[in-house]
Amino acid sequence: MVREYVDHTGAVAVYAEDDEGRVLVIQQYRHPVRLRDWELPAGLLDMEGEDRLTAAKRELAEEADLEADTWEPLVQYNTSSGGSDEFIQIYRARNVRATASAFDREGEEADIVTRWVPRAELVEAILDGRLHNSALVVATLAVDAAERR
């Protein structure tokens, strides 16, 4: 039997919260699903020698012009075990503030939209089927479950 799958570098995502407990979501066009999807700041582990936490910090700065003082691993999961070896590590970032300067975005990142959303609204939208991005779904439900413990 021959199996085909995507050999993936891995990725990171950031579940960033402000002082009011709202979550940063970004919206950008995603060609495979042909829509502008709401998601967490995220990116590939494609820089030689870069560890996951450094990559997460870089992605938060590049996609949202933010940095954070407090970082903790939230959850790691395989995105599609039947078709890819990709694992994504999601970090929870708190004590968030603007970076000293804005990142010069181009290409698909040039028109990123950012929004701060209360976690309860994200949970409701996930359960109503209005949010589909796996990292956003997994992270939001993980934080919600952890906060209820």
Active site residues: 109
3-state secondary structure of 70: strand
Q: What is the 3-state secondary structure (H, E, C) of the chain?
A: CCCCCECCCCEEEEEEECCCCEEEEEEEEEHHHCEEEEECCEEECCCCCCCHHHHHHHHHHHHHCEEEEEEEEEEEEECCCCCECCEEEEEEEEEEEECCCCCCCCHHHCCCEEEEEEHHHHHHHHHCCCCCCHHHHHHHHHHHHHHHC
